[in-house]
Structure 1
Amino acid sequence: MAASIVSQTVARGLRGASAKHLFLDKFKCARVSSRRWLNLQEYQSKKLMQESGVTVQRFYVADNAPDALQAAKRLGAKEIVLKAQILAGGRGKGVFDSGLKGGVHLTKDPSAVGELANRMLGYSLTTKQTPKEGVKVKTVMVAEALDITRETYFAILMDRACNGPVMVGSPQGGMDIEEVADKTPELIFKEVIDIFEGVRDDQALRMAANLGFKGPLERQAADQIKRLYDLFLKVDATQVEVNPLGETPEGQVVCFDAKINFDDNAEFRQKAVFALDDMSESDPTETEAAKWDLKYIGLDGNIACFVNGAGLAMATCDIIDLHGGKPANFLDLGGGVKEKQVYEAFKLLTADPKIANNSAANSWRLVTMPQC
């Protein structure tokens, strides 16, 4: 049975809150999800890559229209891409409350960048992954727009089956990798990394060849792969995903977009990275829930859900929706829950005005699973 709209919404929230799970049956790979759910803006991830010698587009960041205009002029590029910086996907098809459509714009006229930035900065951008009211844009990235002749997919992630990091790649980039794995699993390639040796030259070259890079580009891609692994180790990442890892007409291998997830247990030695965390875009309730290791996602209804287990929580939301009710939240207590966590969870739910103002005295749905 197809997933309901409610469970799809919850699933999107969970993917945004933690490392997106990728399960490739052929290789039995699973991503490790982070606990604190640190998310970085696109430009922050690109700065980290730059510091590790990874090739990215030239870019600047601006928080006002005049600075965005000056950045466009400094780039001196044939074409410029202006991107609103928010922690949500679907920016290209989003809508601003200023009336501007799209959070990603291409232009060959530098003067247009200032005008576009003026209609982005300070306004809320609504996408399929944001709350209904959208997210206020505080910064924009002004970047050099490069042509891409070919797109590939590359990631380094933690694999429980191998007890360490693995490289996963595909010559089919620029699309949903789960879809590629499902329809053409033969186009998914994996290299297990020995944590003591790191990425060997032969592994990097083999992965580059499997991604379809030829001639001088093969060695260039292999070099980028090794640099990405250096970044993976340097920042204590659980995932570095580049989609696409592209090839330009000028013969350059460029990381056009990246997602980095971090091991929260390493926060004590990654203070500079975790200091980049922008909590202003986070739902205050979700932020408070995370402090107690609770997975919470706010929804639009008025029936509270208090559940032990993510699958059961989504099923509960679906059942409520199926019978005409509207769940107010997804809340997974997780395994090994403590008394204090239960107490804090109830505090979060009772503080929600959608629930507190509900006239129905029995507007609660409480589902628990026994601890074994």
Structure 2
Amino acid sequence: MNLHEYQSKALFAEYGIGVPKGYLITELSELDTALNRINSKGWVVKAQVHAGARGKAGGVKLVNTPQEAHQVASKLLGSSLVTIQTAGKALPINSLLIEETLAIEEELYLSLLVDRVTCTHTFVISSAGGMDIEVVAEKTPEKILSIHIDSTVGVMPYQCREVG
């Protein structure tokens, strides 16, 4: 199952996990409404495609004014994005997540994926952040915790304690 960032954040919010205030737009005409509803000193404009490394590929931009937001949104919306995770394939940008900017106190990385080697669902967790998780994996693999989940029993309490 592939979820866009906005879909994941909606699920988090549904279960009481805090997420930045944000709005999804699919047309430029929706941008001003999103900016006004967020009422922030700055915004993050995020391309919604099924790939990581969007920021490094130019798909995530910080903006400080509505004019900057319009410039970035008009450039991204309707274009395509190639990241290190798309194997050279350009993915269409049909929607943008507009979010408030927040001060980052701590950056963590958490991923749930299917490990093709072990054929298990696997949580990959790191306190070293997520922007450069590939570099962390290469240079300091001890900073990454992988927890393989037995699909016949699900996530066990002891596995949750490993993360904490």
In the superposition, the TM-score normalised over structure 2's length comes to 0.71
Say yes or no: does 1:186 pair with 2:142: yes
Aligned to 1:41: 4
Give the secondary structure class of the aligned counterpart of 1:154: strand
1:170-216, Cα deviation, whole Å (9 max, x unpaired): 2212245454344333323345657647442x6535423xxxxxxxx
Q: 1:120 to 1:166 in 2, by over 3 A?
A: closer
1:58 equivalent among 14, 18, 21:
21
Query: How far apart, CA to CA, are the structure 2 residues paired with 1:90 and 1:193?
Result: 25
142 and 197 in structure 1: CA distance in 2 versus 1, 3 angstrom threshold: closer
Partner of 2:80 in structure 1? 125
* Pairs aligned (count): 160
> Pairwise mapping of residues 49-198 of structure 1 onto structure 2 (< 5 A)?
49-92=12-55, 94=57, 102-122=58-78, 124-128=79-83, 129=86, 130-131=88-89, 134-157=90-113, 165-191=121-147, 196=153, 198=155
Instruction: Report the identity percentage.
Output: 37
Is the CA contact (8 Å cut-off) linking 2:81 and 2:93 kept in structure 1?
A: no
Does the aligned pair in 1 maintain the 2:53–2:131 contact within 8 Å? no
Which residues of structure 1 form unaligned runs of 5+? 1-37, 95-101, 209-372
Residue pairs, 1:1-372, within 5 angstroms: 38-92=1-55, 94=57, 102-122=58-78, 124-128=79-83, 129=86, 130-131=88-89, 134-157=90-113, 165-191=121-147, 196=153, 198-200=155-157, 203-208=159-164
Q: Deviations over 1:117-140 (max 9, x none)?
A: 233333x23435454xx5543211
Unaligned residue ranges in structure 2 (runs of 5+): none
The secondary structure found in structure 2 opposite 1:112 is: helix
SS in 1 for 2:24: strand
| Residue pair 1:89, 1:127 contacting (<8 A) in 2 also | no
Query: Greater helix share, 1 or 2?
Result: 1
Root-mean-square deviation over aligned CA pairs? 3.4
Verify the 8 A CA contact 2:112 2:123 in the aligned structure 1: yes
Q: Distance in 2 between matches of 1:47 and 1:39?
A: 14
Task: Compute the displacement of 1:78 (Å).
Answer: 2.4
Aligned to 2:110, the other structure's residue is in SS state strand
Q: Structure 1 residues 144 and 164 mapped into 2: Cα distance closer, same or farther (>3 Å)?
A: same
Q: How many angstroms apart in 2 are the aligned matches of 1:159 and 1:90? A: 19
Task: Decide whether aligned partners of structure 1 residues 92 and 193 sit closer, same or farther in structure 2, where only a CA change above 3 A counts.
Answer: closer
**Rg: which structure is higher?**
1
One-letter identity of the residue aligned with 2:49: I
